Chain A
Amino acid sequence: MTESAEKKSSPILISLAWLIVILPTLWGLNYTVKNALKLFTNNTPAPTATK
């Protein structure tokens, strides 16, 4: 059998493999971004003159 006639990895299989690692990463990223946004809410720097 020639190389070109050999069975190639299915694009569906490749997509599934990537989904297996991407989904938990997105879950963690979403959780982290939600926390990180708290840095920019209700945070007004105290004016230096008051110190």
Chain B
Amino acid sequence: MALAFLDRQHSIAPTGYSRWLVPPAALAIHLSIGQVYAFSVFKNPLLALQAADGSHWNLKAVGYIFSIAIAFLGISAALFGAWLERAGPRRAMFYSALCFGLGFVIASFGVSSHQLALIYLGYGVIGGIGLGLGYISPVSTLIKWFPDRPGLATGLAIMGFGGGAMIGGPLANNLMAYYKAAGQPSIPYTMITMGGLYFVFMMFGVFTIRIPREGWRPAGWTPSQKKSALISTNNVAVGKAWLTPQFWLLWIILFVNVTAGIGILEQAAPMIQDLFHGAVTPTAAVGFVGLLSIFNMAGRFFWASTSDFLGRKATYFVFFTLGAILYFVLPLTRQEQLNSIPLFVGIAVVLLSMYGGGFATIPAYLKDLFGGYNVSAIHGRLLTAWSAAGIIGPLIVNGILDHYVETHQPRENAYPLILHIMCGLLVIGFLANLLVRPVADKHWLPTSTPAVPETPSH
């Protein structure tokens, strides 16, 4: 069969293969697909484009490109998760690279011919499928290589997704400036170049990834004898897992965590300027967004690896108690009250670190509750919470802001309400986390189940 090297059996690690080669492979994928968070750098150049008849695209229509990509991330992660468990991470990573790279190329044709539908199809649908496949592909592999530190391992990879924007943003800006200076069509050429570069970079991950041999364990490591009721030694198949209350409680936890984070992320630059009139320049506001992205990335590693010691439930309790307090206090730092930019920035970066931490800790929480057998597939289905939050979060934020503008009230007065709603959402997350209990033994797989899922687990 063509492309047989992508098969699961061809990616089994030889004896002596270091597990420390696996996180760079996962990072190559996540640092690439994390570019989606920097898609906004294309917004203004796309809005400035003119069709042959002189027409322009509007902000709403261009904004749909990102929304479609995120929606297809969730959809493809949910649909292909069970397939990924059988096909192995290498094949999934390869298709992810292909879809993500091809998405850029198709979108570039859409830009050249001024057809927005082609950009939706390319970057949104095909690229979005690449995002979903790439996001979940290394998760279960990392958990198998690092049974002693699952939070650290998945945190490392998912940190890459947060860091992808830091590479994708300046890369796109520099390429567009280069092609513009060379008198070439800057956006299409930039997109084709980025598609090619990301494909090559992701192929490094494809060729480097290995799965451990059956029964492999880290040298000198034995599973902890200290039993925790929330760390299961049994496995649950994806078809059963998503019908358990635990799955839906974790869905709510991820949903509220992401929605609350979007409350800041969605409006970060205008928010700081509105709350501190005249004291924050537009350039400084962009700097604030950059600072948030650094803490979003760092939080993914810090909180996920900390959860290996604190425990997943305790880590989410920190997010939902500290987070709720900070969301409540944040509007009090504004100009009319405490008037403290450092305090506002300090609180916002801690909140964003917990937003990232919530993303990165969830695979290890799933592994604790459902075992490692189908963890990528279960994670894939859980990511629909992200897609839902990606729709609901902006609806709350923009809906309230629009209402204030339409009723001729100052925009800055809308932020306390928005942030206090986010505080309330975190209280719901706290309750959901409180209700998490071990999965009932009726859902467990028999202990004789093969290590690799053989049939669709739906």
Contacts and interface: CB of A to CB of B under 8 A. Distances in A.
A39 B166 contact: no
B24 interface: yes
A32 B290 contact: yes
B167 interface: yes
B28 interface: yes
Task: Provide the main secondary structure of the chain B interface.
Answer: helix
A7 B14 CA distance: 9
B167 A27 contact: yes
Q: In the complex, which of the residues B163, B280, B290, B336 has the most CB atoms of chain A within 10 Å of its own CB atom?
A: B290
User: Interface size bucket, A side?
Assistant: 20 to 34
Contact of A39 (B31, B277, B291): B291
Interface in A1-51: 3, 6-9, 13-14, 17-18, 20-21, 24-25, 27-29, 31-33, 35-39, 41-48, 51
Contact of B278 (A13, A24, A46): A46
A43 B167 contact: no
B287 A35 contact: yes
A6 B281 CA distance: 60
User: Interface size bucket, B side?
Assistant: 35 or more
Contacts of B285: 39
B16 A8 contact: yes
B279 A14 contact: no
B411 to A, nearest CB: 15
A9 to B, nearest CB: 4
Given A6-B15, A13-B21, A29 B279 contact: no
B335 A51 contact: yes
Interface string B10-45: 000011111011001101100100000000000000
A46 B284 contact: no
B208 interface: yes
Given A8-B18, A38-B286, A32 B204 contact: no
Contacts of B287: 35-39
Contacts of B21: 9, 13-14, 17
Contacts of A24: 31, 167, 201
A51 to B, nearest CB: 7
B284 A6 contact: no
B18 A39 contact: no
A24 B294 CA distance: 14
A30 to B, nearest CB: 9
A35 B318 CA distance: 30
A20 to B, nearest CB: 6
A45 B336 CA distance: 11
B341 interface: yes
A33 B294 contact: yes
22 contacts: A6-B15, A8-B16, A9-B17, A20-B24, A21-B160, A25-B166, A27-B167, A28-B171, A29-B294, A32-B166, A32-B170, A32-B290, A32-B293, A35-B287, A39-B287, A39-B291, A43-B280, A43-B341, A45-B341, A46-B276, A46-B335, A51-B277
Interface of A: 3, 6-9, 13-14, 17-18, 20-21, 24-25, 27-29, 31-33, 35-39, 41-48, 51
